[in-house]
Copies of this chain bind each other. A is one copy, B any other.
């Protein structure tokens, strides 16, 4: 580890929040729990498609449309409309991964500035951090809603860097998603991949400078003496 970055730019969905909590919410409305992963993949697919085409979308609109389509033909316990509303609301009420609270405290204790940058809404991030008692550790809650483009377009990272007043190599993007690590790397940022499940890093993406299994491990790695 060469030197501690001035700013850590933390992704939110799946990096901080634990999407596995959606499975039981799908079951509760009578839908297959496996649809949660398909839902999230479809939302990102559509958001990235619009970004590639030069457009901008609202995460919430894509979430609602994809979910509505996925629930078509399912035998639900509630009306189709109620299921969509319940599950979209549930997405805004997820918990942090177990390592995140202690991890954020350890990172903050290093004196590094912490900001979040999500393709979702800033309001969902605000609630997530506030509910878990970690909001005060984070200097700024940023969303691509205020950027020209979604992540992983370079304009999204540039927006966060500009807002923080730092150069790309003073900031490290921290994400559970290889596409986010890749995009931030192409935008000149340093990168950390949070790999909680021991999966292999996909070959098509630029790899991270650091790979950790938790935010706590990231805090430890950032305090190691230089090699």
Q: A residues bordering B, Cβ < 8 Å?
A: 32, 34, 37-38, 41-42, 44-46, 48-55, 57-58, 61-62, 65-66, 68-69, 72, 149-150, 152-154, 178-179, 182-183, 186, 199-200, 202-205
Partner of A48, one of B32, B51, B62, B202: B51
Contact B199 A49 (CB under 8 A): no
- List B contacts of A45 (CB < 8 A): 41, 44-45, 48, 179
User: Interface residues of A: mostly helix, strand, loop or mixed?
Assistant: helix
A32 to chain B, nearest CB (A): 7
Q: How far, in angstroms, from A69 to B149 measured CA to CA in the complex? A: 28
Residue of B nearest to A150 (CB): B52
25 contacts between A and B (CB under 8 A): A34-B34, A34-B38, A38-B38, A45-B48, A45-B179, A46-B179, A46-B204, A46-B205, A48-B51, A49-B179, A49-B183, A50-B179, A50-B182, A50-B204, A51-B52, A52-B152, A52-B183, A53-B154, A55-B186, A58-B204, A61-B204, A62-B202, A65-B202, A66-B202, A68-B200
Residue of B nearest to A65 (CB): B202
Shortest beta-carbon distance, A52 to chain B, in Å?
Answer: 4
| B204:A65 contact, CB within 8 angstroms | yes
The CA-CA distance from A152 to B183 in the complex, in Å, is 18
| B58/A186 in contact, CB under 8 A | no
Q: Is the CB of B53 within 8 A of A202?
A: no
Q: How far is the CB of A50 from chain B (nearest CB, A)?
A: 7
Q: How far is A68 from B200 in the complex, measured between Cα atoms in Å?
A: 9
Return the 10 tightest CB-CB contacts between A and B, nearest first.
A49-B179, A48-B48, A65-B202, A41-B41, A51-B52, A45-B45, A53-B183, A53-B152, A57-B204, A52-B153
Give the docked Cα–Cα distance between A37 and B42 (Å): 10
- Within 8 Å CB of A152, what residues of B? 49, 52-53
When C-beta atoms are compared, the residue in chain B nearest to A61 turns out to be B204
Alpha-carbon separation in the docked complex, A53 to B188 (Å): 12
Are A199 and B72 interface neighbours, CB within 8 A? yes
Best-buried of A51, A52, A150, A183 by chain B (most CB within 10 Å): A52
A52: which B residues are within 8 A, CB to CB? 48, 51-52, 149-150, 152-153, 183
